[in-house]
Structure 1
Amino acid sequence: MFDELTYLIYKVLRIKGYGAVSMNKALLTLSHNEALFSNEDHSIEPLKKWIRKEFTDRFFEPDDDLNKMLNFACDKKVKFINVLNHQYPISLKKSLTNSTPPVLSYIGNVNLLNTYKVGFCGSRKASEKGLEVAKDCAIQLSERKIAVVSGYASGVDIQTHYWALKSNGATIIVLPEGINHFYIKKELKEVWDWNRVLIISEFEPNSIWSTSRAMQRNNTIIALSNAMVLIEAGEKGGSIDAGEKALRMHKYLFAPIYEGMPEHAIGNEILLNKGAYPIRKSSKTMRANLNQLLKAVAIG
C-alpha cells in the first residue's frame, strides 16, 4: 500500500502551479530542519495544516482517480519513496536540489541505489561499433560490481542493460513515463533477474511518455550516477543534451573514441571539447580502457 504522505504529495502535484520545486520548498519549510529528510519517523500534520491553509478542507475530499491509480500500481508490486524517506537517494537531493522528484515509484531491488553506478546515454540508432563499445563497458563494470543506469529505449539503453544482466551484474532502468506502463521488453526476458534490477519513475504512475519527460528523466539518470558514459551523441537531441547536463552538474563524463565513428556522432567530439574525457581501446587488452572511469566512479 501507499502511505498517506505519498498520497498527499501526489494530490498537491496535481494542482496547477504546484510542481516539484514548490512541493519541496513547502516540505523543507514545514520541516524546519533538512535532517528530517533522512528521518522516516516524520509527522505529516504540518503538511496537512499547510494544505488546509493553501487549498481549504475540500482538498481532503476523496480522489477516486488517484486512489485507483495508486492501488493499480500497488497490485503490480510498485512501492514508493518520498523525499522524507531514509531510502530516498541522497545524490538526487544534492544534484537536483529543489527540483528533486518529491516521490519515486519503483519495482525491484531498491538496495541498488546504494551501489556504485555508471549512467549511459546514447543513440537509439547506434552503429554496430558503438553497440560493441557499450557492451564492453557494461561487461567490465559488471565484473567490478558497478551497476549500470540508463533509460529504456532501443540502442544503447537496452544494450547496456542486457549485458550488465548477462554478466551477472546489476542495472537500474529510469523510465520517462509512469511506472504503470512498465513491462519487461522481449530483448531482456532471458537475462531478467529481479534481484539485480531496479525500475524507477519520477512521474505519476499513469503518466504517458513525452519528450519533455524524457529530457527530465535524463536529469535523474545523471544525478543517480557516479559518472556518465555517452555513446554516439548527435549534434542535437537527447543524448548530447544529457552530456551537457552532466557537465553542468559537475559529473564526470566520458565519451568513447574509436575508428569508424559514424558522422552522426559528432556530439562526442563536441562534448570532448567541452570537458568530457575520452575512452580509448587498450592496446594490451583490446578492450575499452576504463581506468580513468573507474577512478572517477570512486571519487564521484
Structure 2
Amino acid sequence: METNELKFNILRLLETKGIGFAKFWTIWNAFKDDIDLDAIFKGQQEIKKYLNNEGYSDWQSNEKVVSEKWDKLLDKNVQVIFFEDDIYPQKLVSRLKKKAPPILLAFGNLNLLSKTSVGFCGSREASGKGLETAYDCAEQLSRDGINIVSGYAHGVDMTTHRAALESGGTTTLVLAEGILNFKIKKELLSIWDWDRVLVLSEFLPGLPWSVRNAMQRNGVICALSEAVILIEAKSRGGSIEAGKTCLGMNLPLFAPVYEGMPESAVGNRELLNQGAYPIYKSQKTSKANLDKIFHIFDSDSSASSIVPSSKSLKNNQISFLD
C-alpha cells in the first residue's frame, strides 16, 4: 500500500465512530504485519470484531466524507505525519504510549519536531506578573536556541509564543482543535514567520475546540518537551493536570516563585510539593534564573542534578519581589 493511501485509510479509521487512539493501536497491532493490509482497510470482515455495528457501518460508508477532508488537507498544504515516518517524534510514543496520536497534522517548519524544546502551560487569566515571568523565561530560552512549545491559548500560551518570535526564536503551537480550523491570531500576525513556526494538531481535521481537547493536547506539549514551565496553575483544570502529566513522564517540571502570586494559583504550590523545581529571580540579572533548566540540556547532567541547593538559593537567587 502506498504511503499516502495508508495515511488516508488511517485517517478513515480514526474518523470512524467508536475509534479513539487506544482502539486504533489495538487494531493496528493486530494487523500491522498482515501481508494483505490493503484488503483489511477496504472493509473486510477481519476488522469487524473490533467495532460495534454502528462503528462497522460507519467504517464502510465514510470513505467519501473522509476523502473530502483529505482533499482539503492537500489543498491547504497540510503535512500528514504518520507515526512510522522518520520525522515523527518517537518520544510521543514512548511517553504517551496508547494515548500517542497515530498521525499528526502540521503546517510550518517540520524540523522543529526534532529541536530541543521546553513546554509552557499556565492560566489563561494569569496576572501581569505571571505573564511577565512567562515572557522572560521564554525569551531567555529562545535566545539560547531552545524551541518553545505551548498551546496557542490566550494568557500564558500566547505570551510565550510571542516571546519566542519577538526574540528571533522558534515556537511550536499545539492546537486543541482540528488543523482545518487554524487561523493566525492577531497577537502574532505582525511577527509571524513560517520558517520559525510549527502548527501541530493531533485531532481530526475538522474537530472544534473543546475543554476535553485542551486537556488532551497538554499531554502532547509535555511529551514534545525536555522540560516544562508552569505558570500560575489553579487547583483544578488543565494547567495543574499538565503539571501532573509532566511529573508522571518523569520530565523536569519548573514553577516560578514570586511574591504577589494570585491566591488562585495554588496549583503551583501543590506541584512544588510533588516534585516540581522552583524558579527564582537572579540578583545579578534581575531575570528568572534558568541555570537549572539550561543544565539539563548538558549531556552529562541528569534530572536529579538539577535540584537547587539551599546555598545556591540563598546566595544567587531571590524571589520575584517587584
- Map Cα deviations across residues 65-102 of structure 1 (whole Å, 9 max, x no partner): 21111211222221100112111111101101122101
Q: Tell me the residue number matched to 1:22.
A: 23
| Counterpart mapping for 1:124-273 below 5 A | 124-273=124-273
- Bigger RCO (CA 8 Å, 6+ sep): 1
- The one of 13, 37, 41 equivalent to 1:46 is 37
> In structure 1, how many angstroms separate the alpha carbons of the residues matched to 2:246 and 2:35?
34
Post-superposition shift, 1:14?
2.5
Q: CA contact under 8 A between 1:117 and 1:297: conserved in structure 2?
A: no
Per the alignment, in what secondary structure is the counterpart of residue 200 of structure 1?
strand
> Aligned with 1:278: secondary structure?
strand
Distance 2:264 2:278 in 1: 18
Asked if the contact 2:16–2:59 (Cα under 8 Å) also holds between the matched residues in 1, the reply is no
Deviation per CA, 1:19-38: give whole Å up to 9, x if none.
21122233334345xxxxxx
Deviation at residue 293 of structure 1 after TM alignment: 1.1
Q: Which residues in structure 2 correspond to 1:71-110 (within 5 Å)? A: 71-110=71-110
Identity rate, percent: 46
Task: Give the Cα separation in 2 of the matches to 1:241 and 1:96.
Answer: 14
Q: How many residues align?
A: 289
Q: Which amino acid aligns with 2:79?
A: K
The 1-side partners of 2:121 and 2:247 are apart by: 13
Work out the CA distance in 2 between the residues paired with 1:103 and 1:47: 18
Mapped to 2, the partners of 1:58 and 1:277 lie a distance apart of 48
Please tell me whether the aligned partners of residues 5 and 44 of structure 1 are also in contact (alpha carbons under 8 angstroms): no
Query: Who wins on radius of gyration, i.e. which is larger?
Result: 2
Amino acid at match of 2:76: K
Partner AA of 2:180 in structure 1: N
53-62 or 180-189: bigger deviation:
53-62
RMSD between aligned alpha carbons? 2.1
Supply the AA of the counterpart residue of 2:15: R
Q: For structure 1, which runs of at least 5 residues remain unmatched after alignment?
A: 33-42
Per mean C-alpha deviation after superposition, the further-off stretch among 164-173 and 13-22 is 13-22
Work out the CA distance in 2 between the residues paired with 1:58 and 1:132. Answer: 49
**TM-score, normalised relative to structure 1:** 0.91
> Aligned equivalents of 1:163 and 1:238: distance in 2?
22
**1:70, 1:239 → 2: CA distance?**
33
Flag the 1:212–1:106 CA change in 2: closer, same or farther, 3 A. same
Q: Structure 2 CA distance, aligned partners of 1:80 and 1:73?
A: 8
Letter in 2 for 1:99: K
* 3-state SS in 2 of match to 1:104: strand
Q: Is the 8 A contact 1:233 1:266 kept in 2?
A: yes
Aligned to 1:40: none
Amino acid corresponding to residue 188 of structure 1 in structure 2:
L
